[in-house]
Structure 1
Amino acid sequence: PGVKSVILPPVTSSDEGFSGLVDLQGKPIDDDFKKRRSEMLLQAFRDCRPDIVMIEAFPFGRRQMRFELMPLIEAIDATSPRPLLATSVRDILQERVKPGRNEETVDLINRHFDVVMVHGDPAFATIDKTFPLAGAITAEVTYTGLVAAPPPPAASER
C-alpha cells in the first residue's frame, strides 16, 4: 500500500568475472535492451520524484550498469529540488586491479554523491582499509552498522 514497484527487465552477470551481462535466458543484452531499461528507470525516477535515491555499490562496483546509472545520476543532478544521492557499499571491498579505477570512483562520488553509506561497524573494519583513496572522498561517509540474528541465550539461561 502506497508503494509503487517498478520491475525492470532482469539482467545477470554472464560469468563469475563479471565480463558481460545477459538476460535470464543467458542471451547477451544488446543496446536496445539497455536503452529500454534505462528509459524505464528514468521514467520511474520522474514519476516518483523521490527525496532520496540510494544506489547499491556504484561507483565502487556495478560498473557494467553505468549505461543506466549515469543517465539516472545526470537526471538527479538536473532535478530541482535535487534529491539526496547515496551509495551503499560493504565495509570490505575487493581490490581494484585496473589502474585508475579508484580515482574514477572518487571522482564520481565527489561530483555526484552526497553520502557513502558503509554497511559495517567501524570498530571492526573501516573503508580505508580496503579502499586506499577513502580519504579523498568529500561526500559524507557514514557507517550503518551490521544486521545479525540475536545471539543465542547464554548456557546458564538454557
Structure 2
Amino acid sequence: MSGRVLIAVTHLLGIGHLVRARHLAGALAQAGYEVVLASGGMPDGRAANGYRFVQLPPVRVVGTDFRNLLDEEAERATPERLGAREAGLAALARELRPDIVITEHFPFGRRQLAGEFLALIEAARAARPQVVVLSSIRDVLVAPLRPERLAEAHRRLEDLFDGVLVHGDRAFLPLEASWPVPPALAERLHYTGYLAAP
C-alpha cells in the first residue's frame, strides 16, 4: 500500500487518544503509507516510530471542564494560540496533500476544537479534492445529552466524512451500545479491532 495519511489528534485530559493515534500511525506506516501525526495535546515525550510527528501549540483541560482550554502554564488558551493551531493543521494539509485525513474523536467529540478540524478538512479537500476523510474513535463513547449536539455530530459525519474507524470488535461491543447509530452512520462504520503495541 502507499499514499499519504494525515492524522490529527488532541488529547485533553489523559493520553489515551494520543496512544491510540500513535498505534494507528505506526500500523499505517508499517503498511507502507507516508504518515504524519499532528498532536495538539501536551507532549508525551515519546519518539515517532516510522512516521513524522508534529507538535501543535498544546492545549489541555483540568478535571472535566472541557469548555476551558488551557495552555502549558494552566492559563486560558488565547485566541492567538487557537489560531496558530488551526493555521498549523491547514498548512500541513497544503504541504502534504494527503490521500487520507483521519481526525481522532471528531466529530463525536472535541466540539470546542471544531474550527481547527473543519479547517483541516477544508484545506485537505482544496489540496486534493478526492481526499478520503475518516473519523477514528474508541468503541465506547459518551453521547451528548443535548439532541442538537448529537444532530450536529451526525450532520458533520454525513456531510464531511467518508467513514468511521471504530477501534473495537463489533461482536464484543457494538458502537450503538454507547452512541445512537442511524442507518446513514451504520453503513460508514469500519471496525478495526483493538489497537495495541506490537
TM-score range, shorter chain: 0.7 to 0.9
Q: Secondary structure at the match of 2:147?
A: coil
Which residue number in structure 2 is paired with residue 100 of structure 1? 148
Which residue number in structure 2 is paired with residue 48 of structure 1? 96
Alignment of 1:129 with 2:177, yes or no, is yes
Paired letter, 1:5: F
Q: Secondary structure at the match of 1:6?
A: strand
Give unmatched runs, 5+ long, in structure 1: 151-158
Give unmatched runs, 5+ long, in structure 2: 1-48
Q: Return closer, same or farther for 1:80/1:28 CA change in 2, 3 Å cut-off.
A: same
CA contact (8 A) 1:113 1:139 kept: no
State how 1:59-138 maps to structure 2 within 5 Å.
59-137=107-185
Deviations 1:112-156 (A, max 9, x none): 111100011011111122211342327621001024589xxxxxx
Q: Return closer, same or farther for 1:70/1:56 CA change in 2, 3 Å cut-off.
A: same
CA contact (8 A) 1:114 1:139 kept: no
* CA displacement at 1:14 relative to structure 2: 3.6
Deviations 1:35-65 (A, max 9, x none): 1111111111111111111110000011111
Deviations 1:4-35 (A, max 9, x none): 43221111114313121000110111211111
CA contact (8 A) 1:110 1:138 kept: no
Q: Return closer, same or farther for 1:134/1:88 CA change in 2, 3 Å cut-off.
A: farther
Which residue number in structure 1 is paired with residue 19 of structure 2? none
Q: Secondary structure at the match of 2:66?
A: coil
CA contact (8 A) 1:52 1:83 kept: yes
Partners of 1:135 and 1:38 in 2: CA distance: 32
Give aligned-pair identity as a percent: 37
Partners of 1:131 and 1:2 in 2: CA distance: 33
Which residue number in structure 2 is paired with residue 154 of structure 1? none
Partners of 1:148 and 1:84 in 2: CA distance: 24
* CA displacement at 1:81 relative to structure 2: 3.8
Which residue number in structure 2 is paired with residue 21 of structure 1? 69
